Amino acid sequence: MSGQQTYLEIVRNGLWSNNQSLVALLGMCPLLATSTSATNGLGMGLATTAVLTMSNVAISLIRHLVRPEIRLPVFVLIIASLVTAVDLAMQAWFFELYKVLGIFIPLIVVNCIIIGRAEAFAVKNPVNRAALDGLAMGAGMTLVLMTLGGIREFIGQGTLFAQADLMLGSFGKLLMVNLGPDFHGAILAILPPGAFIFLGLLIALKNLVDKRARNRQAALARATPTGAEPQPAG
């Protein structure tokens, strides 16, 4: 997990193998709280990605100035100031967007993915890698948020991407699915326990896919005598 990662590995890590929401289980509070619909998930994911990329860049830039013993308070300061500034700027200049995403912005401060990536990656890497890491980790979280939001919304309310037109304009209308007002759904999916249940299922699914992939690799290694020794499964 040091500077030797290729760009491809950084992206892979962010989207799959070190996905912050499914593997590191960081940032659970905003993840569970805002994944009540696919649109909310997408909005929260995009806002987090933007802040995460900015904070990674800022922290990578100052990484030689900060002494190790005070790095955490400095990170917290930078992240908090950035989020507040972004919140104010959006409120002033992107008000339409703010009305949709605004409620999520202050929540980003409590997302430990941001400080997690600052500490685990940005502080040890040059700016371009830190920025890519922010984008990749943010995209990974956005995918999980949107999937979880979509599942909960569909099962709980029978809609998908409801009100996406507020955020994405006419394109959002294309995404919207509605099973109609007669579909009452399982309210449990929308309530907080539903978030835990479906997140658990998503994590299980990811582990299953990983296990299959490992088994396949091991089988391949056994089949070819010169191959590397099989990796332990599980």
Partner 1 sequence: MKTVPIAIAGLVLSAFAIVGVSLVAVTHAATADRIAANDRMTMLKKLEAIVPPGSIGNDPIADRIEVQASELLGSPSTSVYRVRKDGEAVALVLNPVVPDGYAGPIKLLVAVMKDGSLGGVRVVSHHETPGLGDRIEERRTDWVLGFAGKSLDNPSEDKWKVKRDGGVYDQFTGATITPRSVVKAVANTLRFVKAQGNELYTQPAVAATKGAS
List Cβ neighbours of 64 (8 Å cut-off, separation of 6 or more): none
Structure tokens at 27: 């940032």
Cα separation, 61 vs 55, in Å, equals 10
Cα separation, 77 vs 60, in Å, equals 15
**Nearer of residues 77 and 209 to partner 1, judged by Cβ:** 77
Residue 191 C-beta: closest distance to partner 1, Å = 7
Contact 56, 122 (CB under 8 A): yes
**Nearer of residues 155 and 203 to partner 1, judged by Cβ:** 155
Residue 67 C-beta: closest distance to partner 1, Å = 5
**Nearer of residues 29 and 208 to partner 1, judged by Cβ:** 29
Structure tokens at 1: 């997990």
- Number of Cβ atoms within 10 Å of the Cβ of 159: 21
**Nearer of residues 22 and 115 to partner 1, judged by Cβ:** 115
**Nearer of residues 96 and 210 to partner 1, judged by Cβ:** 96
Structure tokens at 57: 């860049």
Contact 63, 121 (CB under 8 A): no
Residue 26 C-beta: closest distance to partner 1, Å = 23
Residue 234 C-beta: closest distance to partner 1, Å = 39
Residue 55 C-beta: closest distance to partner 1, Å = 12
Cα separation, 23 vs 143, in Å, equals 14
Binding footprint of partner 1 on the chain (CB under 8 A):
36, 65-67, 69-70, 73-74, 77-78, 80-82, 84-85, 88-89, 91-93, 95, 99, 156-157, 163, 181, 184-185, 187, 190-191
Find, among 11, 2, 47, 9, the residue nearest to 140 by Cα: 11
**Nearer of residues 16 and 98 to partner 1, judged by Cβ:** 98
Structure tokens at 115: 């400080």
Cα separation, 63 vs 59, in Å, equals 6
Residue 92 C-beta: closest distance to partner 1, Å = 4
